[in-house]
Amino acid sequence: MNKGSCLCNQVQYEIDGEFEDVLNCHCSMCRKLHASAFRTRAKIKTASWKTIQGEKFIKFYQSSPGEHKGFCAECGSSLFTKFDHYPDILGFPLGTLDTDPNVKPSRHIYVANKAAWHEITDNLPQQQALE
């Protein structure tokens, strides 16, 4: 069981399930959404997510057709992405976890779009797109 929260702590959640396909995404959308060089994310089963507190603070923004970014309306913390075509899966950014998920990224994706000022310094595989 993993627990997490948004920056203002209005939204608190638990994830009771596996983290799959953990990776670092360097696409411009992830960089802008998270105001960072990249986003570390995993896939989780929708049923494994449980909002403990603050459901009313979770709002959605449709970033692309069929992709809905869930965030805290109070502080703006990114919580998860819902997909119309994959309703059983959430894209989950690991940054709001308060517990150690005991997983590590396995690769970098969209490195062709990485920030010019950022240098990837690890030995993980690098992919130009999502493969």
CA–CA dist 17, 1 (Å, integer): 7
Which residues have a Cβ under 8 Å from the Cβ of 34 and sit 6 or more positions away? 78, 93, 95
User: What's residue 131's pLDDT?
Assistant: 66
**pLDDT tens per residue across span 93-116:** 999 999 999 999 999 999 999 999
Q: Is the pLDDT of residue 64 over 70?
A: yes
Percent pLDDT > 70 in the chain is 99
CATH class of the domain comprising 2-113:
mainly beta
Q: Could you tell me which residue, 10 or 33, shows the higher pLDDT?
A: 10
What pTM was computed for the model? Answer: 0.88
CA–CA dist 48, 90 (Å, integer): 9
CA–CA dist 22, 16 (Å, integer): 16
- For the chain, the structural domain boundaries read 2-113
- Spatial CA neighbour of 82 closest among 58, 98, 110: 58
User: What's residue 59's pLDDT?
Assistant: 98
